């Protein structure tokens, strides 16, 4: 029994498309590299918290962690958060210990994932810890990546650049130790 050419081509295309879709799903749990100040500014909430352990989740498809908030960096809320949630797929797994965490507030609960700030507190440098108190002031600035000639532009306005180390931009490692803040002339500049 022979298979018509059109059926064979269709099956071949379906195979390659399904393989491509599976590859996208497998790569769906990666995040673009972003400066922590940018993540801070795009988050609803940023806290330093001590994770006490896992608790049974009351929400579907979410993992729950029992925490004690040590410091709230954004926003200054009065509500005492005791449980935070991460997605089961592409979520972050936390061990007991202190973390810097960012996320969004959805229906009154904090939800975070791999693309949020999920950093062990003891692995942050003293400079990074100090920068947290200045990030909010820098939220009027845009932090963006640059390559080649785009790193040399003089018309930055409210931008700080991450790219090849030049006079107007910082490489990513140096940028992690800096904060992008507005200046009196309305422009923004990296400050260490």
Q: Which long-range contacts (CB under 8 A, 24 or more apart) does 173-178 make?
A: 175/35, 175/143, 176/35, 176/36, 176/128, 177/125, 177/127, 177/128, 177/131, 178/131
Characterize the bridge pairing of strands 62-74 and 45-55.
Answer: antiparallel
* Structure tokens given for 64: 């729950």
Of 122, 125, 113, 145, residue with least CA distance to 38: 145
29 is in an annotated binding site: yes
Give the end-to-end CA distance of the chain in Å, rounded to a whole number: 73
Kindly state the DSSP code that residue 4 receives in the 8-state scheme.
P
Positions at the binding site for Zn(2+) = 29
Positions at the binding site = 29
């Amino acid at each position: 029994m022979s298979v018509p050419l059109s059926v064979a081509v269709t099956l071949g295309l379906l195979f390659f498309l399904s393989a491509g879709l599976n590859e996208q799903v497998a790569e769906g749990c990666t995040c673009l590299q972003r400066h922590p100040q940018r993540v801070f500014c795009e988050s609803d909430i940023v806290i330093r918290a001590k994770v006490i352990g896992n608790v049974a989740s009351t929400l579907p498809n979410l993992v729950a962690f029992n925490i004690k908030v040590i410091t709230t960096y954004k926003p200054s809320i009065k509500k005492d958060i005791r449980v935070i949630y991460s997605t089961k797929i592409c979520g972050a797994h936390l061990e007991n210990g202190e973390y810097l965490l960012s996320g969004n507030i959805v229906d009154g609960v904090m939800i975070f994932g791999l693309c949020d700030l999920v950093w062990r507190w003891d692995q942050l440098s003293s400079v990074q810890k100090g920068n947290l108190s200045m990030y909010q002031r820098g939220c009027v600035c845009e932090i963006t990546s640059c390559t080649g000639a785009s790193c040399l532009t003089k018309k930055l306005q409210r931008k700080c650049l991450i790219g090849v180390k030049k006079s107007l931009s910082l490489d990513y490692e140096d940028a992690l130790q800096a904060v992008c803040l507005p200046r009196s002339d309305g422009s923004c500049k990296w400050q260490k």
